[in-house]
Structure 1
Amino acid sequence: MQDMNTATMPIGVIDSGVGGLTSVAELRKLLPNEDIIYCGDNGNAPYGNRTGQNIVELTKRIFAFLEKQQVKAVAVACNTISSTFDSSEYGFYEKGLSFPVVSVIKPAVEDVLQKKYAEVGVVATVFTIKTGCHKQMIQARNPRISVYGEPSENLAELIEQGDLSSPAIQSDVKKHVNNLLSEHPNLQDIILGCTHYPIVQSVFEKAAPNVTFINPARDQAEAVKQLLHERNLLQKDHQGEMSIYTSGSEPVYHAVLAELGISPASKIHTVRF
């Protein structure tokens, strides 16, 4: 039997900034009836150049905020955050929360395993690549799959600045794609291992037209839908709305919402997590 009070609670989505809106775009397609509370910690971005312990502490603050918002589930739409609790090195600090947490990495790994790639590239933040989370999780299940990582120090931050057609973004994307392909010329599939990157997916595709760039947001949205279905928590007969909470500034949100074709948020709140 469905618990109507719980089913009508919102879904939380968290990221270090605007990147998680790529997951929101996919959630909107699959779950249009759900209300979403989006938390972007732009004031502390980028997370990808921080230490693991610092990332954990910042994430705990956002989780505490969402506890007060009474969400029924949280999509961690940030590969850097996801890698801290998908990696045993940092412990599973999400235990004890009142809501289930859906990583953005695990669903992407499942997709790679199901499609039986022979090799796959990962472009992500410095921290995510350093943890080797994608490689460890894929090769633990299928050691025959080769996984090649390519870290970017600046791309997420460049996207955060909101000029999505800037020469700096195009140059950074081209550099990292070329790095992967020069070392692995037969590579045909690359995971966009930071949720910011699908915002400029067309730039990646222009840099390497013959490569398939994998957007993990789609897999994560499917995982959230499956979780809510299994727990009988799907919202029904309701037009979902979204509220945004950010520790940064508003303008970049308007730019990215428009770029991704997401309806404007009902309200953008400036907060300190």
Structure 2
Amino acid sequence: MVLLSLNWGYLTSALRQAMLLDPNANAILIDARGRWLLNEGISPLEAASFGGDFASLAPHYWQAIQQRNAGHASVDNHLLRFQTEDIRTQRYRSLAGTIFSENAYHPWKLGVTLPQPSWRSLIEEETTVLWFLLLTYSVAVAFGIFWALSSQRQRQLRKAAQRHAHEVSDLYENAPCGYHSLDSTGRIIKMNRTELTWLGYAEEEVIGHITYREMITPETRDRFDKAFENVKQNRPGSAECSLLTRDGEQRHVMIEASAFYRNGQFVHSRATVFDLTERKNSKKSYAPKP
């Protein structure tokens, strides 16, 4: 093989410099007939010299390289990556006319070998990556535990809040006294079950349909009107009145109310109603006869 105008030393030096990227890497350069084209051998071909019979010295490598034009393979506990190069027409097209060689020696095979990595070597070489993965995994596990505990705590708090709300609602609805709220016109917007039972009405018949004043006897409406006016002006209001039930009976009550204001505006009243009927009836029973 005669090579003219091709810097052979530069080519082989460049291959060795490329191998410095990994001290365990080795270059392979052979021609189409399996002849070694470097000036030194590689493991396990330390004895190989320029022009040596690579095909005979390393048949497993030669067989792997011959199977296809490019690729990779595992040979003798080494990783081999290779490709086919024809310097007459590919890398050195401008010099092709000054290269004289028989066709049987082309194309060349260029390859790189590396020792087959073991788990130990991977761990030693990738310590930083492993620490990063371990840290990432630890953070993920910690976040998962925190999320599980947080979710459980939120469920507990939600259940406690629902239970507390139910207890408060039950206390409001079934209190021994009546509760109601009125808008600025005196219309009923809320009334607990206790007061509804006193009056003999269902909730849907009263809420949003009746003014509280309509349920008070004509004789005691003035007291209610005065007390409600005080409440709308954000002053405490109380009045002793008589309520008319659905059956036409009277219930004597004491109403104590206050206002709920928002941004300086009246929103609704909040009233507590105490039933005085039994006490009034008792006084009448024991009143001296004329």
Do both share a fold (TM > 0.5)? no
Structure with the greater relative contact order (CA < 8 A, sep ≥ 6): 1 or 2? 1
TM superposition score normalised by structure 1: 0.19
More strand by share: 2
